[in-house]
Amino acid sequence: MIAVLLALGALVYTAWLLEVVLPTGLDPVRTYVSELAAEDQPFGGLFRATDLTAGLLVLAGALWALRGALRTAPREPWTLIGWGGLVLFGAATAVDSRLPLSCAPTADPECAARESAGLVPAAHTAHAVSSSAAMTGAIIGIIALTVAARRYGRLPLLARTGPALVALELIATGWTLASVAAFQAGGDTYALGAGQRLQVLIVAVWLGVLALSLARERRVPQARKDGAR
């Protein structure tokens, strides 16, 4: 069930890919992913709903897994830290969906000017905090559970593919942070949107790999049990 929850969460977390077919009016290379869910955007309600759903699915799966790890693997700190990170990611993503931007600052110069002057709702600041918390939790989970898979000899698929995904995630995160800093300093976005979309896509892919790894781990003991009959 944990694998199912995480797999569904990963799938819904990629709902922003609908911008390929929906007339959002936002440039995916330059704009924040969260601007799709801004209050003044035509499909804002849809993307807020998918963010909430994704967050709750991952939160439920991570809490379930953390509870089990506390009982069966209390001496595996990387496992506990990893699931704790995903709990933070899921909870913060759900909260983030309830704190939408009022407008799209990278696409609307007037919105950017109001944001710089502090004339936008407090939700903009709260959204920045919840978004940062969500990505921090995701990165903690990605790194810690990948380390756990390799150190404790579990989840071989994650142990093999996890390090490459960790490296890609850190590169995408560095790109995103540098672009955000440049934009907030009054410069260009430097393909901020592309960097952030890569960042969240890797999170979703990693969650999918984790879900598949958990499903395979569950099938192996069952196959051994059936073979022993």
pLDDT digits (tens, 9 = 90+) for 105-140: 999 999 999 998 999 999 999 999 999 999 999 999
d(CA 10, CA 58): 8
d(CA 7, CA 132): 23
Token pair for 158 = 């994650």
Q: Given pLDDT bands bounded at 50, 70 and 90, which one contains residue 26?
A: very high
**What pLDDT score does 189 carry?**
80
**pLDDT (average), residues 26-40:** 97
Q: At what angle do helices 77-97 and 123-151 cross, to 10 degrees?
A: 160
Q: What is the DSSP letter of 15?
A: G
Q: How many CA atoms lie within 13 A of 45 on its CB side?
A: 1
Q: What is the mean pLDDT of the chain?
A: 94
Do 10 and 207 form a contact (C-beta atoms < 8 A)?
yes
Residue 51 has φ and ψ, to the nearest 5°, of -65, -45
**162-188 pLDDT tens trace:** 999 999 999 999 999 999 999 888 878
* Helix ranges (DSSP H) in the chain: 2-13, 44-72, 77-97, 109-116, 123-151, 156-184, 192-227
Position 225 pLDDT exceeds 70: no
User: Got the DSSP string for 18-29?
Assistant: GGGTS-----TT
**What pLDDT score does 93 carry?**
98
* Lowest-confidence region among 1-5, 65-69, 181-185, 212-216: 181-185
**pLDDT (average), residues 36-40:** 97
- Sign of the four-CA dihedral 212, 213, 216, 221: negative
pTM of the shown model? 0.93
Residue 32 has φ and ψ, to the nearest 5°, of -65, 145
**What pLDDT score does 180 carry?**
92
Q: What is the DSSP letter of 81?
A: H
Do 101 and 37 form a contact (C-beta atoms < 8 A)?
yes
**What pLDDT score does 220 carry?**
58
Top pLDDT among 189 and 15 is at 15
Token pair for 131 = 């978004």
Domain ranges of the chain: 2-217
Do 31 and 193 form a contact (C-beta atoms < 8 A)?
yes
Do 98 and 52 form a contact (C-beta atoms < 8 A)?
yes
d(CA 106, CA 205): 26
